[in-house]
Structure 1
């Protein structure tokens, strides 16, 4: 079954343009499934029945897997068997009647405006590291972008004259306005601090680590955790917390849900509706009026 799984991942990569994270997630889920069936004496995909799949899902429930984890595994299984059915590897799709458990959507952890102010005042603005860290956190909160998008930014993606950044998300681009606080901090970083880290002039990553290589997710997570601690914030903060806080604070200050959806890059407005929803105005005007640090 391993070769079929690898073929499927290759198909996702080449034909569906899926992200690396999605591919890793699918591969991990499907390899676990294959290992389970191997223990049951089932080595080939065409031997797997609907009952077998339901037994596997039941096993995950018994092991107290989170509903979200089970749902993700079911999505991976359904995608694989749909692909195998289309390819003629299996004569019928045994996953067709698999149903994911209901997932209760919880409001994500957010910071208050005061907590954000405390957090963003922690970096030392007189050191290269402090300037870089503050620029990163200000930009994350100013735009609501995902941390992966923040770390993928190139220097050419930033237009400080007109106050926006170009965000790249799985082959798509979106333009996000930034307020004066973030723009001024980015300008300071570009003028005073970036060269402190970047020795190779061909390096195009906007933000790098102390070695001049692109900053990693783990590296930024540690930076954020350190400042949260020194700010006395005891919530479970992740880079995504600033994204959630951005959305809620924008909506609380009068931004309309459609504009926030565009800035967050949600393809489906239902993803944004967990935050709130109001009337419609032009995106930049909304941003400048509504963002607490514009």
Structure 2
């Protein structure tokens, strides 16, 4: 994901896409939630956050990395025409991006990143895969699965169990690559006093 986000570009579209991908990975948001973010949904300050509008009209606020907040500030300075009700990530015509736009821009970023990271060419990177990447990163950083479920806007913490299983599978594969030490278990030899006591019972 870092390689995909880091695709260098200086165009207006490129800067928008960089913010899109950064926000996508930072929040693990669904595409519908990302394209629904308005300027007014972002609170920038000592602790910055973004409000997402999820399924069933449910809302949740997620913290932003300082780097993401700084990028949003820069983006808003470049686009002073964006009003509070405007889409944070608009198309050239000012309208919100569509699901197809997001998928297309992600595909282009992956193709560009694959030039320096060839292993990406073999992966099918979708917006949903980015969401999974965020969940796995949170899990591997020590976040509780229940907190991850809240972060992703899942109805039930049990939905997050698949990430726990995936993480265990990855650790098991890593363990399988390690050669177990060839140490014979030491045989327990009880002290003489214990044996005499046991015989006397």
Distance 1:177 1:236 in 2: 28
For residue 157 of structure 1, what is the aligned residue in structure 2?
41
Equivalent positions of 1:199-238 (< 5 A) are: 204-232=86-114, 233-234=120-121, 235-238=123-126
Equivalent positions of 1:265-284 (< 5 A) are: 265-276=153-164
Q: Which runs of 5+ in 2 are unaligned?
A: 115-119, 166-201
Deviation at 1:203, TM superposition (A): 5.6
Q: Deviating runs (4+, > 3 A) in structure 1?
A: 200-203
Deviation at 1:202, TM superposition (A): 7.9
Q: TM-score scaled to structure 2, two decimals?
A: 0.73
Deviation at 1:117, TM superposition (A): 1.3
1:167 aligns with 2:52: yes
Bigger relative contact order (CA 8 A; separation at least 6) = 2
For residue 121 of structure 1, what is the aligned residue in structure 2?
6
* 2:39–2:85 contact (8 Å) kept in structure 1: no
Deviation at 1:245, TM superposition (A): 0.1
Q: TM-score scaled to structure 1, two decimals?
A: 0.51
Q: Give the stretch that moved more between structures: 252-261 or 134-143.
A: 252-261
* 1:251–1:257 contact (8 Å) kept in structure 2: yes
* 1:138–1:181 contact (8 Å) kept in structure 2: no
Distance 1:201 1:256 in 2: 37
Distance 1:185 1:158 in 2: 12
How big is each residue's C-alpha offset from its partner over 1:235-256, in whole Å with a ceiling of 9 and x where there is no partner? Answer: 1111111110000011111111
Deviation at 1:201, TM superposition (A): 5.1
Aligned in 2, Cα 1:202/1:182: closer, same or farther, shift over 3 Å? closer
Q: Which runs of 5+ in 1 are unaligned?
A: 1-115, 278-294
Higher Rg of the two aligned structures: 2
